[in-house]
Structure 1
């Protein structure tokens, strides 16, 4: 009882402190001020963020939304911070002076609440009466907390209720959250006094024999027998029959009052639909017709019986006539299908000879056909409109269809293709044979031939040369004519360029420098070095060799030397003729030497000079620094070489002037670990 009273008193004091802390102590006038004829409202601050801690491991935050006054604003906290918003805060009171552009000051005091326990009363619960019931109950309450409002969330979806009813057997979790978003959860199990009922069924759908031939047979397990059955259409038995298509429901109750409900839907049998695909017998008395049935609807599998005594959905080797099929599905539903095959008189059409065109694009192809059988009333039709012709000449390449029909309507169709040789093409290609050493150039041209029929006859322009390859020594237009073995002809023409001389002697030079700007001029191991080239436009390609086995094709590459030494860096440039020029420079690479300079005092007064304590470092790795007061308490620690250093503040408080101790550890480039300790004076 005393502990509970003490907690309540502590909570009242915390709430009173929070209320006082959140009030603005504003030095600016509460009334609007007049500035240059313009009315300026007082400074107003809305405070948000994480203003209470749920545990000692958490940190708070403060977010300020400032309005009124005259922007811009400046901020000065009691911990010397000058940012508008704060984070990573311990519990406590934080005061900020907000000054607007007119110099009007507004003081805001904010409290970050310390952790406060949220303790729930023991869970009250009542189990469900049976496994299939939904009459379980649970209740929770807050024993110790910060006070209303609380948010309650149950795992089955219930919100902001201290009690949950109509619960089925199962596992549940309830979470209570206070006004500062601190929460606690309880998990529990709703059990059942008896085993729930389970249901299985056997269903017979209505068939074609009768609309009321459906059945539903139930099998119930679990619960406590005997069971009572109540069907939506009246019966009170486990099994019902004589059912027409429709929806049915049943409620089953055991002797303890537990119940279970089930719903069923019976469907009428779907109609059987049949379509036939037929191939009539060919002309004459041939028995080469066929029938194939496509059966849909009803219930598979299907049984098909034919008037011929055969069975199955497909028949073959049939003559002209009428055929009847009887189709029965798995439910005994039956339909009839009648199919007729027609008779015709036959003819036979055959392709005799096809000659391709002689040259690509020509139209001197030929084709001939032969027809046998019943030629009475014969009509021949070609796909390009020509009629009653057995032999065709002057045909262009392509596919033709020819159809023959006799007096009885018997018809036969064949297709034929008149081929064409590949197109005869020629292309003049050229190259320059350059001797980079003496600067001489020789032009070479040749003709590339595709298609046609070999051998080819070649004739070059006015010279009449018959070789595939010729030489040239000036800019000109070349012409060539090609004739293949079948007399097909093609011509080609191309302009060739001949330069007056090579482009040797173009400018090629380069410099190098460190990519990072440092006070150390020498090139060190593992530093990024950029090589800046000066390459004339005559060069179309270039290559770098850095002397350490590495190469690059970038114009201005960046390279890192991994070992100390003297390296010859070579830049090679190539012109369009493959001729090259070379530029070589020497790079001296040194091993870095570490340097650590530690000051013995600093003055954190905000003047921008010596405001923090941090050693000057060069060529060191794995750096760490710790600061202690004379009592051995650690005031500051860092492992970052680029850290701004210690500013004389610990836990947001300014430390007094005096002597402090440092412990610095670092590694040299050779891997040696160095420890250095000493004193530093904080001057205010």
Structure 2
């Protein structure tokens, strides 16, 4: 075998060994290259490492409503990786899982495969109890204790957290009277919490002091008086200046300590300080004005120096703190009084911007020819601090005006430069497209009751309209230069002729409908014809005495006998006529006197008197 073939055979064997044993370290060999003067070194490269998986997540359930999740971290092999779970899901991680065993097959891009089984444990009870609680000897003595016992759980390790800061201890000692809690957490982060109380074996007592600070004029006017409540009397007192009374007085500046013991042996130690008077100096360190009109987020911070504590703060709004929060706009006066009785006053003003308002308006523009409508809504903004941010309920922003094409509620939110917000809503109507004009018509009749169809000059006419509900306004044009806005106007033509009377109605969108009628006006003719006899015999011919007239606006008639007795009266243009009776009694034949008075359409009043013969 030649040297070259030996080298090739060697390379082939090394390649087989590398694939068979998945060599992890890079390898190299020497090979003959015909283009060179001898052997050259050739690197085989490093094979990919085996697939490995790190599993994390929530692998145990704490209760029956709990759910677990699995997080996979894959290394080795050649990415990318594919995942296939036993329920055919192909995600890398799983969530919202019940207890059970989950199997995943992981395959890299070279076909290497890894199988991983993960168990999510079912809920396992964690039962803890307080094993012993020891009360404190006195209310102020830290000698209480408590012990927690883990009766049942998944096993060590457990994390124990006490509410006062102690960790990983089953027993807590040195506890003051009060309410405490302890939390036990197992290895899967499931926990149980207990709350307990450390009581006091002896009744607690409290001490309240009243300190009289030194006045500016007397350096020995300090005093301390005590008020004891609770505990078991009698009490003993021992002051740091040697006094054994409950109260001390006539003392100068300095710190005074007192030990108070009740009959049960419980002791309270208190320290009080009497200070020398000093001048109170007050300045405004910060003012936060209201960001929005009408808000209550103003703040005042005061810097106070000097004076004799305690300082008493009295604000004009009733507050007693040094600083104020949640303020409306206005002027606030502060009076500070120290323990020596010295006072100082100051004023602070909290301001606010002009009220931010947004007024929504809308209109409908209608193409009266096509019937197509377009709605417009716009917002008028005042106050606040510009620039403003405008956001419409439709999602549009930065516009003062939008277009709408359906009825409903329009909403706009305006935010000014300081974050103040105002929201306005407007309910709008919107017509259907291709609107049909509403009905409009009118009739003409005489104001007076008359059977004459002709219309004469100066004769009042009533124009009775028939206007549909779609119209909100209307106007009349009588063709003689006169107009009217009434719904049913009365008009008088002052000269004869033919007149085009026009009624025009307008709907809410500004579109109009028109109805016209021709009215012919004749010259005035006035006449009254009074019969001189009648025959009330019931034959239907000339049975009543009734004058005939034309061109009148009023007519009155009275009938008398020769003795002046009033027998009959008629008022108005509807003349029923006299049938020759009086109060239902037939009158005898003979002559009777009539008296008529009428008014013409020109306004002239005429009176006539005569006789009429009743024939039977």
TM range (shorter): 0.3 to 0.5
TM-score (norm 1): 0.38
